[in-house]
Amino acid sequence: MTEPSTSPSEPLSGTPVAVAFPVPVAGETLAEIFESEESAVLGYAIGLVGRRAVAEELVQEAFLRLHELWSQVENPRAWLFRSVRNLALNHLRDHAKETVEEGPEGPGNENPPDEALGRLEAIGMVRLLISELPPDDQSLIRLKYHDDLKYREISRQTGLSVSNVGYKLHHLLKGLADALRHAGIDGSLG
């Protein structure tokens, strides 16, 4: 099995904090992270490689590697998504010729249609990008999208001014849009 081409553990921003995406918790165990992220990471992997069986292998590999490096990884969620992405890109590069022969790979291994794949990949990428943001930015996005708050309410909760909230969200979304484009996702999925 290929390995992540970059070491995802070093460039990650910050440490786990109380408010993030989805709220990283002090003292969370790997098992807990597995429970909360399994679905999202697997969805992302499927979106990237398009084949359920391969995706499962990549996810398994990523979790095993995280298990090994557990004490050194500061931001396990971001690490996980980044690893899956790297593993998937390696896989696609190494198996570029095989992608034509799609087909079912066994009982129960349903491979989603292409447009669903694009969506899974995009959502996974968004999760990856958000989990790599500094904690404060994560919490801002969370207040907006998870708690569905208005600028004014966010301002009250964070102590930032209303215009500052607007400014920050503007740049966060713009940054996400740019990063998605870099990742080859133009985000136009309707």
Partner 1 sequence: MNTMNDDENTKGPQPWSDPALEARVVASVLGETSAFEASELERILAGNPELAIFKRRIGAVHTLVGVAFLPRQPKIQLSPGRRQQLLEKLGARPAQPGKKVKAFALPFPQWLSSDTLNRVVACLVILAFVAVLYSLSLPAITGALMKSPRRSIASSPNEERPQFHGEAGGFLAADGLDRKASVGIGGTTAVSSVSESVTDSAGPSSKPDSSGKKLAAVEATAIKAFTSGWGKGSGSGTGARGGVAAVEAEKQVLRDAGDVSAPGAEAVPMEPAKAKASGKDRDPAFQAEIKTTRQPFSTFSLHVSDVSFQLAKDALAKGAMPDPGRIRAEEFYNAFDYSDPAPAPGEEVACRIEQCAHPFQQQRELVRIALKVAAAGRAAGQPLRLTILLDTSGSMEREDRAESVRRALQTLASLLGPDDRVTLIGFARTPRLLAEQVPGNQAGKLAEMAARTPSEGGTNLEMALDLASELALKQKLPAAQNRIVLLTDGAANLGDADPARLARQIEKTRQQGISFDACGVGANGLNDEMLEALTRKGDGRYYFLNRPEDADAGFSRQLAGALRPAAENVKVQVVFNPARVSQYRLIGFEKHLLKKEDFRNDKVQAAELSAEEAGVAVYQVQTLPEGEGELGEVFVRFRDPANGMMVERSWTMPYEAKAPAFDKAPPSMQLAATAALLAERLRGDSRVDLDTMAPVIAKLRGQYSHQAKVGDLIRMFEKMRR
**Residues 96-125 close enough to bind partner 1 by CB under 8 A:** 108, 119, 122-123
- Which of 56, 42, 45, 37 lies closest to 89 in space, CA to CA? 45
Q: In whole angstroms, how close is the CB of 32 to partner 1 at the nearest point? A: 6
Q: In whole angstroms, how close is the CB of 36 to partner 1 at the nearest point? A: 6
**Residues 73-92 close enough to bind partner 1 by CB under 8 A:** 74, 89
Token pair belonging to 177: 């849009």
User: 43, 49, 82, 133: which one contacts partner 1 (CB under 8 A)?
Assistant: 43
Residue type, 98: E
The residue (of 101 and 128) whose beta carbon lies closer to partner 1 is 128
- Which of 169, 176, 112, 163 lies closest to 137 in space, CA to CA? 169
User: 24, 51, 65, 111: which one contacts partner 1 (CB under 8 A)?
Assistant: 24
The residue (of 3 and 109) whose beta carbon lies closer to partner 1 is 109
**Residues 143-172 close enough to bind partner 1 by CB under 8 A:** 144-146, 150-151, 157-161, 166-167, 169-170
User: 13, 23, 90, 118: which one contacts partner 1 (CB under 8 A)?
Assistant: 23
Q: What share of the chain is helix, strand, coil (3-state, %, to 5)?
A: 65, 0, 35
Q: In whole angstroms, how close is the CB of 100 to partner 1 at the nearest point? A: 18
Q: How far is CA 181 from CA 29, 48, 64, 131, 165, in A?
A: 33, 15, 30, 18, 24
Site size toward partner 1 (CB under 8 A) is 77
In the chain the first and final C-alpha atoms are separated, in Å, by 35
